[in-house]
Amino acid sequence: MRITALYSYPVKGCHRLEHDAAEVEPWGLAGDRRWLMVDPDGVGITQRETPLLTQLTVAPRPGGLELGAPGLPPLSVDEPVDGPETYVEVFRGQEPVPARVAEQEWSSRFLGQEARLVWQADPTGRRVETDALPGDRVSFADGYPVLLANEASLGALNDWLVEAGDDPVPMTRFRPNLVTGGAEPWIEDVWLGQRLRIGEVTFRAAKECSRCLVTTIDQETGEKGRQPLRMLGLRRRFDTGLLFAINLIPDMSGIVRVGDPVGVG
């Protein structure tokens, strides 16, 4: 088994970045989902309600980001190390966590609604709340630092879709950080509770990933459909949700690379 793809999403919900190598930090891949667009109540804006985020392109640079979107001039935004302090909820009802405001005008124009772009200045400020150790922390990702998906499981899912007369879907629908190849379909279910070694880094396989409406959004166009969520409901429904991929928590910092072997146990 080896890593076949690495992805990060600097602004939560944005178009993916693909990497040959990535630094693993305790709260996720370096730069992954450290930025978030929030509404006037300080609640995160995600693809669940705003598929337009698929059209947000991001180019990291030292000390900031370059943002792009159709119909708007590009924006260079610095990490607001001295910016206004605020508290935000990644999802409504979650524990508020500290952030700093980076800008408002461009984000509001892009989304067509009042919004602010915030930055997670202190990545130790948001806890992993379940299936975690007391010191585990996470970026503005949904709930865990790293998401790993299995190519063979996608192949099995796509076989079901084709049999049902639907089109196959790409791995990008699931917005993973790490993709592994050379494993059996659904073997990741067995990995839960164990440790994975990927290159020089070990991870705890903490929890299965219950999927949401984002999997039905074309990550290139923002168009919504029904699949693959409907098929997951038919074939991968468990007490904990409609499952695809697993959540990992790093044991340490280090570098992972495309081609790294994946060991279990």
CA 172 to chain centre: 10
* Cβ–Cβ < 8 Å for 32, 55: no
Instruction: Answer whether CATH 2.40.33.20 is correct for domain 2-28+128-264.
Output: yes
Question: Residues 97-125: pLDDT tens digits?
Answer: 999 999 999 999 999 999 999 999 999 99
What are 148-205's pLDDT values in tens digits? 999 999 999 999 999 999 999 999 999 999 999 999 999 999 999 999 999 999 999 9
The set of residues, in sequence order, having a beta carbon less than 8 Å from that of 224 and lying 6+ positions away, is 51, 213, 216, 217, 218
Q: In the predicted model, is pLDDT for residue 130 greater than 90?
A: no
CA distances from 129 to 26, 53, 137, 145 (A): 15, 26, 9, 12
97, 90 contact by CB (below 8 A): yes
Exposed, middle or buried by CB within 10 Å (0-12, 13-18, 19+), for 212?
A: middle
- Would you say residue 19 has pLDDT above 90? yes
* Cα Dmax for the chain: 55
Q: Is the pLDDT of residue 265 over 90?
A: no
Whether the full predicted model's pTM is greater than 0.95, yes or no, is: yes
The whole-number average pLDDT for the span 33-53 is: 98
Q: Inform me whether the pLDDT recorded for 131 exceeds 90.
A: no
**How is the chain split into domains, by residue range?**
2-28+128-264, 33-119
